């Protein structure tokens, strides 16, 4: 059994990170792609050896030779497109963040539950060798009992043409870069430790380069009782990205986005494990989805886990946007695509 995929939104993320993964995963093939610019869709299809290209999402969704759909568009269009895929009775993988906010996530989940078809979200780090190794090391007691976790992600402020990027337009992305990058962080923590049940956050705009927040700080607690904190600073002097796990016998430090090693420190020793990402980082997660559709396993990145991440992020930016303003931005955003 081969799962035939269609991609809605064959943009940059699909060139290397995800698109080839649908062709290279065992039991999978890429049958069709869609982009509103039909010529660019056809160009993508020619370059990647895809049989069919469309400029209308409905044509791809209704294609009888497409078994499952990957939605690779910005978050403002996820709810509407996901509903269409659910109505067609087809399994769906949607890009992260899952939607503009938690409320939209719940609507998406309900749409697929009503049709009895699965929905997954592209938090591909859940299947990458680096983070599977981190999970194994923590569970094996490499640093003793894990007592706290801290996330630090920083980058220089976006200016000029970069400050018009859709990722910092709340009507399209849901918030600023925090939603784009912080979502990976919180989903990874959910994967490692389970649900976060309590969270507070403070967001601010320190540079004035664009309306969205550029710095967010958060404190949170997991269902297990473990506590954590994070800072996402997009007006910093340099880029950093670390997730630090403090334990009773040492600490483990892993990158979140960069392809560098995992450090494990104890009172007497320090080791670095050099774990490299695969060429197409989505491919391991895609393989778990294909396996699930073929009755051979389960994908670890579900709509339910992704919705939990959206809930956490909503709490972090609620103070900055305010409930009324946030709802207005999200309502406007959901109608822009």
Question: What is the band of 267 on the pLDDT scale with cuts at 50, 70, 90?
Answer: confident
CATH architecture classification, 126-278+311-328: 2-Layer Sandwich (3.30)
State the Cα–Cα distance between residues 84 and 61, nearest whole angstrom: 8
Question: What is the band of 294 on the pLDDT scale with cuts at 50, 70, 90?
Answer: very high
Q: Kind of pairing, strands 28-34 and 3-8? A: parallel
Residue 317 has a pLDDT of 97
Q: Kind of pairing, strands 196-204 and 250-254? A: unpaired
Q: What predicted TM-score, i.e. pTM, was given to this entire model?
A: 0.94
Q: What percent of the chain has pLDDT over 90?
A: 94
| Three-state SS at 203 | strand
- 137, two tokens: 């090391």
- Asked whether the domain spanning 126-278+311-328 has the same topology as the one spanning 3-125+282-300, the reply is no
Among left, alpha and beta (phi > 0; psi -120 to 50; other), residue 189 is: alpha
Count H helices and E strands in the chain, helices first. Answer: 13, 14
Domains of the chain by residue range: 3-125+282-300, 126-278+311-328
Cβ neighbours, 10 Å, residue 196: 21
Question: What is the band of 326 on the pLDDT scale with cuts at 50, 70, 90?
Answer: very low
Q: Which CATH number fits domain 3-125+282-300: 3.40.50.300, 3.40.50.720, 2.60.40.1120, 1.10.3720.10?
A: 3.40.50.720
pLDDT in tens, 85-137: 999 999 999 999 999 999 999 999 999 999 999 999 999 999 999 999 999 99
Residue 335 has a pLDDT of 35
CA of residue 246 relative to chain centroid, distance: 25
Q: Which of 88, 139, 327 is nearest to 245 (CA)?
A: 139
Q: State the sign of the Cα–Cα–Cα–Cα dihedral 233, 129, 69, 42.
A: positive
Question: What is the band of 57 on the pLDDT scale with cuts at 50, 70, 90?
Answer: very high
Q: Residue 5 pLDDT more than 90?
A: yes
């Amino acid at each position: 059994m081969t799962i035939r995929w269609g991609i809605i939104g064959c943009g940059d993320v699909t060139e290397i990170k995800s698109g080839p993964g649908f062709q290279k995963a065992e039991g999978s093939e890429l049958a069709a792609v869609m982009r509103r610019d039909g010529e660019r869709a056809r160009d993508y299809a020619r370059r990647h050896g895809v049989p069919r290209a469309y400029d209308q999402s409905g044509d791809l969704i209704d294609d009888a030779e497409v078994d499952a759909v990957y939605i690779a568009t910005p978050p403002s269009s996820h709810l509407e497109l996901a509903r269409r895929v659910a109505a067609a009775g087809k399994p769906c993988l949607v890009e992260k963040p899952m939607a503009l906010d938690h409320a939209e996530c719940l609507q998406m989940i309900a749409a697929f539950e009503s049709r009895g078809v699965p929905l997954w979200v592209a938090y591909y780090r859940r299947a990458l060798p680096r983070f599977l190794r981190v999970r194994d090391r923590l569970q094996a007691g490499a640093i003793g009992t894990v007592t706290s976790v801290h996330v630090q992600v920083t980058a220089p402020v976006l200016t000029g043409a970069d400050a018009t990027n859709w990722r910092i337009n709340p009507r399209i992305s849901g918030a600023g870069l925090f939603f784009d990058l912080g979502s990976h962080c919180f989903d990874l923590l959910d994967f490692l430790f389970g649900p976060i049940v309590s969270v507070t956050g403070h967001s601010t705009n320190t540079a004035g380069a664009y309306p969205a927040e550029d710095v967010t700080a958060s404190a949170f607690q997991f269902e297990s009782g473990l506590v954590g904190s994070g800072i996402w600073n997009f007006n910093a002097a340099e880029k950093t990205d670390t997730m630090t796990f403090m334990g009773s016998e040492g600490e483990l430090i892993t990158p979140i986005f960069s392809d560098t090693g995992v450090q494990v420190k104890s009172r007497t020793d320090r080791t670095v494990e050099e774990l490299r990402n695969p060429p197409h980082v989505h491919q391991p997660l895609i393989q778990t989805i294909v396996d699930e559709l073929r009755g051979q396993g389960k994908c670890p990145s579900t709509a339910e886990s992704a919705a939990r991440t959206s809930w956490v992020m909503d709490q972090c930016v609620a103070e900055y946007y305010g409930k009324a303003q946030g709802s207005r931005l999200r309502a406007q955003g959901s109608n822009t695509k």
